[in-house]
Amino acid sequence: MGQIYDFIYNLLPYLGMWLYGFLRSLGLSEEAVFLVVGLIKAFLLANFGLIGFAILTYVERKIVARFQDRLGPNVAGPYGILQPVADGIKLLTKEDTMPAGADRWVYNLAPLIIATCALAPLVVIPFGPGAIGADLSIGVLYVLAVGSGALVGVLMAGWGSNNKYALLGAFRAVAQLISYEIPAVLSVVVVVMIAGTMSTVGIVQAQDVPYLFVLPVAALAFLLSGVAEVGRTPFDLLEAESEIVAGFHIEYSGMKFALVFLGEFVHALVVSALFAVLFLGGWRGPWLPPYLWMLIKMSVGIFLFFWLRATLPRIRIDQMLNLNWKFLTPLMILNLIGVALIDKGLRAAGVSSGMWAAGLLLFNMAMLIGALALPGYLGRRARMAALAAEAEAEAVEAAVAAH
C-alpha cells in the first residue's frame, strides 16, 4: 500500500521522468528532448485552460442557479453537462461580423492577445512537486507582467471596433484594471518579502503555515483586487450592459467573442490558482496527492468568484475607484511597512516560527479591525455633519418665514 500511495502522490513527476527516458531512448539529443517536453507542457497547459473554461461556464451557471433558486442548464445532456459543447458549436457556426469602419488588424488581434495573456501565466503555476511548466526565479513577477498584458488587448478591442460604447468600455478598463493592479502588487510584495523568493515553487515550500493565517490583510486585498482585475461582479463595470451595452467587446461575435470570454474565465482560474499558491500553501496538504490539494484550493477561490456574482449588485464607477484609492491602496502601503517592521523585529529577536506567525497575525488583525472601524467612524461623522447642516438650514428658513 505504501508503494501505491507513493506512486499516486508523485504521479506527475513519475510521468515526466518516464517521458524524458522514452524520448532519450528514441535517440533524440538533449536539446531535442527539452524542446519536445516543452511543447508537450505548453499543449497540456493550454488545454487545461481551455477545458477549464468549458467546465467553469457550466459550473457557474449551476452554482448561480442554486443561489437564485433556478435549475440552470438541464436540457443539453444529463443535467445539462453538454451545454458547453452546445455553446462551442453555436460560437463556431455563428456569423463572424466586423464593423465597416473598424481597424482590421487591431480589431482582429485584440481577442487573441486577451486569450494569450490569460493562458500564459499558467506556465509558472505549480500543481505539485515537479508539476510546473517552468519554475522561473521571477515567477510571480512574470504572472503580474503577462497577466497585465490583457489590458492592451482590451484597449485594442475598444479602439479598433470604431464604436463609442466599446471605446468607453476600454477607457473604464484603463481606470479599473490599472488602479487595482497597485494593491494587488503590494499584497504580492508582502508575500515575496516574507517568503524571500519570487519563485512560485519557493513560496509554496516556504509556507509551513499558510500565509492566509499569517497575512490575512494581504490575502483579502489580493482576492478583492483579483475580482476587480477579472472584471467580475461587483466590479463588472467594463461590460455594464445597462450603461454601455456590453462594453469593449460589443462588436465581437462568433469565436472572437468566445476568445474574449475565454480570457475572462481563464483569468479567474489563474487568479484562483495564484491565490492558492500565495496564501493557501499551494499543493501542500496531508493524505491527498498534491495535485488534488491544488485543485481543491483553486476551487475554493473560483467558488468565491461565483458566490460574489450571485449575491452582490454592481457598484458605481466612482465607488469602485474610491474603494481602491482611498481605502485599499493606503491600507496595503501601511500593511507593507508594518509587516516589514514586525517581521524584522521578530526575526532579530530569534523567536520561534509559531511566535513569529502569531505576531504577524495579531498585527494583521489589529490593522484589519482598525481599517474596518475607521470608515464607519468617518461615515457617522459625515452623517452627523449633514444632519446638523440640514437642521441649521431648516432653522434659517423658519426664521425667514417668521419675519
Q: Rounded to whole angstroms, how far apart are CA atoms 395 and 389?
A: 10
Q: Rounded to whole angstroms, how far apart are CA atoms 179 and 185?
A: 11
Instruction: State the pTM of this model.
Output: 0.85
For 289, residues 6+ apart whose C-beta sits below 8 A from its C-beta are: 8, 9, 11, 128
Radius of gyration, alpha carbons of the chain: 25
Residue linked to cell 479567474: 268
End-to-end Cα distance, the chain: 97
138-142: list long-range contacts, CB under 8 Å, 24+ apart.
138/198, 138/199, 139/198, 139/199, 139/200, 139/201, 140/188, 140/191, 140/192, 140/198, 140/199, 140/200, 140/203, 140/278, 141/198
Note down pLDDT in tens along the chain; length 403 residues.
456 656 666 666 677 777 777 777 777 777 777 777 778 777 777 788 778 888 888 888 888 888 888 888 888 878 888 888 888 888 788 877 787 777 888 888 888 888 888 888 888 888 877 778 778 888 888 888 888 788 888 888 888 888 878 888 788 777 788 888 888 899 999 999 888 888 888 898 888 888 888 888 889 999 888 888 887 777 777 666 556 666 777 788 888 888 888 888 888 888 899 999 999 888 887 877 788 888 888 888 888 888 888 888 777 777 888 888 888 888 889 989 988 888 888 888 877 778 888 888 888 888 888 888 877 777 788 888 888 888 888 777 777 777 6
